[in-house]
Amino acid sequence: MILLKRKRVLVPLVIVLMLIAAFAQKIAKDKETITGYLHGKTLDETSGIAASTDHPGIYYIHNDSGDTSRFFAITPKGELKATVYYKGEASERLGVRDVEDIAVGPGPVKDKSYVYLGDIGDNKAVRKHLTIYRIEEPSIVGPDSIKHINAAPLYVKYPDGAKDAETLMVDPIEQLLYIVSKRKNSVFVYTTPLDFKANDTVTLTKRSTLHFSGIPPFKWITAGDISKDGSQILLRNYTSVYYWKRTANMPVWEVMTQKPVKLFYKKEKQGEAIGFTPDGKGYYTLSEGIGEPIYYYHLQ
């Protein structure tokens, strides 16, 4: 009799627990959506993603070390729409050494949009200068068109010695370029004005120091983005995504010294790219590797 009563209690309890687990799993799955996959062997070491301003539904991505001076226009499904080539440095065998991030934002001509590519990777911290390329957003005539376009290089130096970095961001409010270093227990935030002339050389301004919990190398910062209206900020590493909401036109570097919100993140093979949607209501992440999924996360 007692055994029968226990069964009557346990069976409903097990069912309830199973329903709770299934619901929790559904919630977790609902937080990310695979919109597509990278197509082809060319897109094998994706390190950055940024939404086009001029072309709805287009995102720019690029490979890091080992690729030439080029980037790609894709859809969220992973369809390649254009390959854009630009002239890099003659001293570099491939034109660039290690392009680690990409951003889209304003530039020298009002109402025009520009792509910024950061050749800022420096694993051994030995480079005398880094290069940021500014390129006017190209026309997209697809599918899979090839473009050759001019780039305006900006040579930048750190005020406190060479270091590795994989994060380049554009703040449209204060008209600043941001670089966030990658390694060490703490990372450093640097800025330089968006208003530069081709072939200028500048020393970055050190703004703040950030610390994230975790174990190296998983805690190292691999990408970031600022929304097109300048109100939101993302940084990521291999295991986490961090989010800040900007208030009262506070500088981005100061906002990031505050405690971030740690967002849900579906662990990727080697996640090194993150970028807001144009409306700022969500963002995409990408990993290095052939045929990797493109993840979308909804924010609002």
285/127 Cα distance (integer angstroms): 28
For residue 140, the model assigns a pLDDT of 85
DSSP 134: E
Q: What is the pLDDT of residues 153-163, one digit of tens each?
A: 999 999 999 99
For residue 8, the model assigns a pLDDT of 54
Architecture of domain 43-295: 5 Propeller (2.115)
Least confident span in 37-41, 150-154, 168-172, 178-182: 37-41
79/35 Cα distance (integer angstroms): 11
What Cα–Cα distance (Å) separates residue 165 from each residue in 85, 111, 121, 232? 23, 30, 5, 21
Q: What is the pLDDT of residues 215-247, one digit of tens each?
A: 999 999 999 999 999 999 999 999 999 999 998
List the domain boundaries for the chain.
Answer: 43-295
